[in-house]
Amino acid sequence: MKGKFRDTPAILGLREPPVVDKQTWLQRKKQKLQDFTDYEKAFAAHAAERRHLVEEATKSYFADAHEMRKHGGKMYYAPSQLTQPDKSGYMPDFEGSDLLRQTTHTTEKLVNNITLMSFVYAKFGENHVNSFIDPFLEKFKDVEGVQTLEVNVQENYLKQFILKAFVPSIRKSLTEERASNYVLIYKDIKKTRKMLDMTNEYIGYVYLVDQDCKIRWMAHGDATPEEVANMLAMTDYLNDKRLKLSRS
């Protein structure tokens, strides 16, 4: 490990609960046309898009790889305590495909469960998230209401075809409990992942999400023994709270 290079992020995610959007492509196009006539909304969207494009244009092509070498995949250590519910943001909804190629929404999987949700963007990140997932499943794989939710994102248009071709092999390589909650996303989500502090595509990220879809804890890179111990204890605590609420 190479130590702490920057502060842990503040509030992550959305300020409001996520909305599951099941509109068709045509319905979304119509909505965009309606939004275009709302000049205030259109101006705000245009300004946000310009900021995003400027940031992308000024970022070096090798910036993520350079940061990975500099930090060894660990930009800071995960907090030792959960974020309080009133200070926690919500995990955004992501629409993707499961390993049976069916459309799925992550929010529908998160609600009423305590979830270790992981994101990988490149092969480098798989070992990172596995260092958290393996001990998590070792303890909680048979605990009802506690689960993993793995998200594999491919933002590069050409590499999306490669990932789709490897879906059968991915399915075969995973245990049953992991395969049932594995989501593939074939699109650019850079704008959304910024609010989750997923700044480097070579790093794997994990989040503890409570039954209300609130992000209570985050970690990245290779897990340290302390991070694993904290994660397991926090999950126990969140699940106990969930069970008490369900009985009341």
Residue 186 bridge partners (DSSP): none
pLDDT at 110: 97
Using one digit for the tens of pLDDT, what is the confidence trace for 213-240?
999 999 999 999 999 999 999 999 999 9
pLDDT at 49: 46
CATH code of 62-247, in short, is 3.40.30.10
Asked if the model's pLDDT at residue 81 lies above 80, the reply is yes
Give the predicted TM-score (pTM) of the model.
0.83
- For the ranges 64-73, 74-83, 138-147, 189-198, the lowest mean pLDDT is seen at 64-73
Residues 233 and 225: their CA atoms lie apart, in Å, by: 12
Q: Which residue has the higher pLDDT, 45 or 104?
A: 104
Q: Could you tell me which residues come within 8 angstroms of residue 87 by beta carbon, excluding any fewer than 6 positions away?
A: 11
